[in-house]
Chain A
Amino acid sequence: MVELATGVHRYLLEARQMQALSFSVHIPLVCFGIAFPVMVMTAEWLHLRTGDPLYRTLARRWTKVMLALFAAGVVTGTVLSFEMGLLWPEFTSVYGSVFGLGFAIEGFSFFLEAIFIGIYAYGWDRLSPRMHFLSGIPIVFSGFLGSLMVIAVNGWMNHPTGFRLVDGKAVDVHPFDALFVNSNFWHELVHMYIAGYMVTGFLVAACYAVARLRGRNGRYERIALAIPLTIACVASIIQAPVGDWSGRVVAENQPVKLAAFEGLGHTENGAPVHIMGIYSDGEVKYGIPLPHMLSLLAFHDPNHTVQGLDTVPANDRPPVNVVRFSFQTMVGIGSLLFVLAAFFLFVRLRRKRMPESPWFYRAVILAGPLSVVALIAGWVTTEVGRQPWVVYHDMRTAQAVTGATGVPVGYVTLALVYVALACAVAWVLLRLARAPLEEGT
């Protein structure tokens, strides 16, 4: 590893913020790349099956939304790939040969996605119904493959394997082992993939819930609400056990990160969980303690020993309160959405109808933004919990950062451009939503 000259780390904080900003914009957008094609295709499948033109109208209108969001996903993703060199050249330079393959394959999956989104969106009038439906399948597949590849890289950064470092160079590199035979990868993939369905489903459902509360409750709106809401609720049910699985893998691979989740200052047998409160001086203050819960949740044994933050020097610990607060936000929202989903499924199965109370639909409206908050909070948990390392126990983030001096200017510029992009996308979506139903069928 290269020791950097002094002064080189000057813009570490800004670089981290710029990275965080770019992710926070990209990741909610890619949720639509993961899950929206499935929803559009569900509507198209219903049309193929029933012949009811209403489903086709729905699918075609959603296709336009998908296209606009895809464009935004593409450009924000491109910015992220530039940032690998703009912000973290040392990281890419030293480890590119280990993790790069993941992004190279990801590039191909984006290719596939871009090609078939073009075919799907512009093929409505040019392909036979069956061919058109089939052309959607590669989009779904590449949404999955793309997230698989990126997350393989992230899993590797959190649990680096498959290489040795000699004189600051990676040697003995086994890229496949590093990326895919990695015990930190699979839970992240499944958890993120399900999060994609939750975020997309709840956000789309929230739009139609607004319409419903405003009295627009025709058959079109009811169907457009039912499809994403069902998908999001089923996803919310399985997200909780998958999150629990994530927690157990973190306990095994990154004990210090786990200690930060819970603010566990000292190693303990039968460690507790605290709900809320803040961490200071090695313990959580003002929280509601649940004794033995941490040992039970993380190791399935109420008296298991849990490693505390004090097992590593202070400068090897992540910023505990940020991580802990994000973690609690995610789990709290996840639990609320679980309850909401359970209620919905109960009414659906027992009463064989949609819930009728306006309170339910108000909750759905809230669930949309909340699921995005949980998504970002989850990534903050993972990424900030990994600090101060960029490659866990191998390279510090401070060693990875660029020596170029323009970072603050870049950060502000990017923030402004992203605000403009957000306004533009919001404006387009509103426009598309207000277009009369007959148009665009």
Chain B
Amino acid sequence: MTLLQTLPIVFVLTGLVFYVVLGGADFGAGLWQLIGARGDDEGKRIRDHAHHAMGPVWEANHVWLIFVITVLWTAYSQVFASTASTLSIPFFVAAIGIILRGGAYALRSGTRGLREQRRVGTVLSLSSILTPFALGLMVGGIAAGRVPVGNAAGDLVTSWLNPLAITVGLIAVTFSAYLAAVFLAADAVRHDDAEMEQAFRTRALISGVVAGLVAAAGLIPLHADAPHLFHELVAGQALPAAIVSVIAGGAALLLVFRRRYEPARYTAALAVAAVIAGWALGQSPYLLPGLSIEHAAAPRNTLIAVVVAVVAGGIILFPSLVVLFRLTLGGSLAAGESAADAPVERHPVPGAGSLVGRSAVALLVIGLGFLTLANPGWAHAIGACALLAFAALATRALISDAMLS
């Protein structure tokens, strides 16, 4: 097992941590729109608060899942194929949940009035429970060692319908609720909304305690279903991770209690990371029963390409993510004027000057010539580029004052 073979699984698990923390908060926000929001006025405020906090970021949060899946199938394709086929039922349920959730977000932008919003909110919330539960079932099924290598080689039902998997599903749901409540309480503080802060602080404390209890109770099915993992966690190489997760989880609750929401979020994220690391260490070096990282890993060239792609992508993405979060967390990037109300200089939009017109025609002729009359690949490349450049110039020339008046 080389470093190169291990790095992608580290990426996958890191992506999973981000998905649980960010995507989880997102699911949890949906859940809070359903539970405990009955009074018309308070209910509406809770829904609005959750929606405004999540609307801009849910897509970005969701892409972590795509990241996990694509890196997994590139670097350890057998693991992905075996898991998706044996656990096809929860995987499919998660897909349906994701469609409903995205659909509800799309719908929300058109709804007016309370009744409509409540109805959309209900769809959103149900799917917000369904998806983390189903994904949790999958993690539990893998941890229980019930996903053998091969095309639908495991039992299609008992692989996920077992105590351990169900416990992990419940943990996923309660944890999402907890993370969301902390996030929304922090958001309320930013908006100076004491009432919402209070509402979500209470929810955070309750769901945090429940999540902790479910996780503790999970040790029983873990012992029964995955004794090896259990022993690694309580006495083996995964023990440090288990300890960190317990401490961080407790500390996060304490921080919520003391209204220190931002640090509470990071501490809760640490707890999630520790749980996932514990699982990984407890199971290492096996990804699935009998399939070690070494045997599952793709050939060297592919691994190098994946690592390079992930690192390069990360360099571009993380700064962009920071901009997005800063923007949505209420700030503004340019104080004062904004695109919506700034005065703008007035210039006419002239049509095709003769130069633009002639260049467009020339590009069209070049494009047609190289693309249709010539045969070598480089000629086709020139031809296609010339045609696309023609399209850009021609469009620019046609969109002018003369046409738009």
A interface residues with partner B (beta carbon < 8 Å)? 4, 8, 42, 46-52, 56, 64, 67-72, 74-79, 81-82, 84-86, 89-90, 92-98, 100-101, 103-108, 110-112, 114-119, 121-129, 131-133, 138, 170-176, 183, 186-187, 190, 194, 197, 219, 222-223, 226-227, 230-231, 234-235, 237-238, 241-242, 244-245, 300, 345, 348, 352, 354, 402-406, 410, 413-414, 417-418, 420-421, 424-425, 427-429, 431-432
Partner of A85, one of B60, B75, B81, B302: B81
Q: Using A406-B88, A421-B103 as known contacts, say yes or no to A104 and B298 having CB atoms under 8 A apart.
A: no
Contact between chains at B71 and A186 (CB < 8 Å)? no
Cα(A307)–Cα(B215), bound, Å:
65
User: Which residue of the partner chain A has the closest CB to B105?
Assistant: A71
Cα(A369)–Cα(B367), bound, Å:
29
B198 in contact (CB, < 8 A): no
Q: Using A107-B66, A241-B387 as known contacts, say yes or no to A127 and B344 having CB atoms under 8 A apart.
A: no
B189 in contact (CB, < 8 A): no
Partner of B345, one of A8, A51, A227: A51
Cα(A408)–Cα(B344), bound, Å:
57
> Could you pull out 18 A-B pairs where Cβ atoms are within 8 angstroms?
A50-B346, A74-B102, A79-B99, A84-B84, A85-B73, A93-B81, A108-B313, A123-B327, A128-B342, A171-B299, A173-B302, A190-B388, A226-B403, A242-B387, A244-B372, A352-B402, A424-B104, A425-B106
Contact between chains at A100 and B302 (CB < 8 Å)? yes
Partner of B109, one of A56, A67, A85, A89: A67
Contact between chains at B73 and A51 (CB < 8 Å)? no
User: Which residue of the partner chain B has the closest CB to A75?
Assistant: B102
A-contacting residues, B320-356, CB 8 Å:
320-321, 323-324, 327-328, 331-334, 337-349
B260 in contact (CB, < 8 A): no
Q: Which residues of B contact A405 (CB under 8 A)?
A: 156
- Minimum Cβ distance to chain A for residue B297 (Å): 9
Contact between chains at B70 and A245 (CB < 8 Å)? no
Partner of B151, one of A56, A81, A173, A403: A403
Q: Using A72-B103, A74-B102, A108-B309 as known contacts, say yes or no to A230 and B399 having CB atoms under 8 A apart.
A: yes
Q: Using A242-B384, A403-B151 as known contacts, say yes or no to A50 and B306 having CB atoms under 8 A apart.
A: no
Contact between chains at A89 and B99 (CB < 8 Å)? no
Cα(A405)–Cα(B305), bound, Å:
35
Contact between chains at B74 and A104 (CB < 8 Å)? yes
- Minimum Cβ distance to chain A for residue B328 (Å): 6
Q: Using A51-B343, A115-B317, A234-B395 as known contacts, say yes or no to A104 and B56 having CB atoms under 8 A apart.
A: no
Partner of A75, one of B98, B107, B301: B98
Cα(A95)–Cα(B84), bound, Å:
15
User: Which residue of the partner chain A has the closest CB to B94?
Assistant: A82
Contact between chains at B74 and A111 (CB < 8 Å)? no
B69 in contact (CB, < 8 A): yes
Q: Which residues of A contact B286 (CB under 8 A)?
A: none
Q: Using A51-B346, A129-B342 as known contacts, say yes or no to A81 and B66 having CB atoms under 8 A apart.
A: yes
Contact between chains at A238 and B107 (CB < 8 Å)? no
B390 in contact (CB, < 8 A): yes
Q: Which residues of B contact A421 (CB under 8 A)?
A: 99, 103
- Minimum Cβ distance to chain B for residue A235 (Å): 6
B246 in contact (CB, < 8 A): no
The secondary structure that dominates the B interface is: helix
B35 in contact (CB, < 8 A): no
Contact between chains at B367 and A241 (CB < 8 Å)? yes
Q: Which residues of B contact A132 (CB under 8 A)?
A: 338-339
Partner of A92, one of B63, B73, B89, B372: B73
B398 in contact (CB, < 8 A): yes
Contact with A along B53-80 (1 / 0, CB 8 A): 0011101101101110111011101101
- Minimum Cβ distance to chain B for residue A221 (Å): 12
Contact between chains at B103 and A404 (CB < 8 Å)? no
Contact with A along B370-405 (1 / 0, CB 8 A): 011100010011011001101100110011001111
Contact between chains at B96 and A428 (CB < 8 Å)? no
Cα(A131)–Cα(B343), bound, Å:
15
Contact between chains at A227 and B321 (CB < 8 Å)? no
Partner of A96, one of B74, B112, B381: B74
Contact between chains at B391 and A238 (CB < 8 Å)? yes
- Minimum Cβ distance to chain A for residue B98 (Å): 5
- Nearest first, the 7 A-B pairs at minimum CB distance are A85-B84, A96-B77, A100-B74, A75-B102, A97-B298, A93-B81, A403-B152
Cα(A119)–Cα(B323), bound, Å:
8
Contact between chains at B110 and A428 (CB < 8 Å)? yes
- Minimum Cβ distance to chain A for residue B154 (Å): 10
Contact between chains at B92 and A86 (CB < 8 Å)? yes
Cα(A241)–Cα(B310), bound, Å:
37
- Minimum Cβ distance to chain B for residue A18 (Å): 10
Q: Which residues of B contact A418 (CB under 8 A)?
A: 99
**Other A-B pairs, 7, CB within 8 Å; known A75-B102, A431-B110:** A97-B302, A100-B306, A101-B305, A115-B323, A127-B327, A231-B395, A241-B372
Cα(A403)–Cα(B338), bound, Å:
56
- Minimum Cβ distance to chain A for residue B233 (Å): 28
Q: Which residues of B contact A86 (CB under 8 A)?
A: 84-85, 88, 91-92, 95
Among A128, A172, A300: residue with most chain B CB under 10 A: A128
Contact between chains at B103 and A420 (CB < 8 Å)? yes
Partner of B340, one of A67, A124, A190: A124
- Minimum Cβ distance to chain A for residue B18 (Å): 11
Contact between chains at A92 and B109 (CB < 8 Å)? no
User: Which residue of the partner chain B has the closest CB to A52?
Assistant: B346
Cα(A420)–Cα(B123), bound, Å:
12
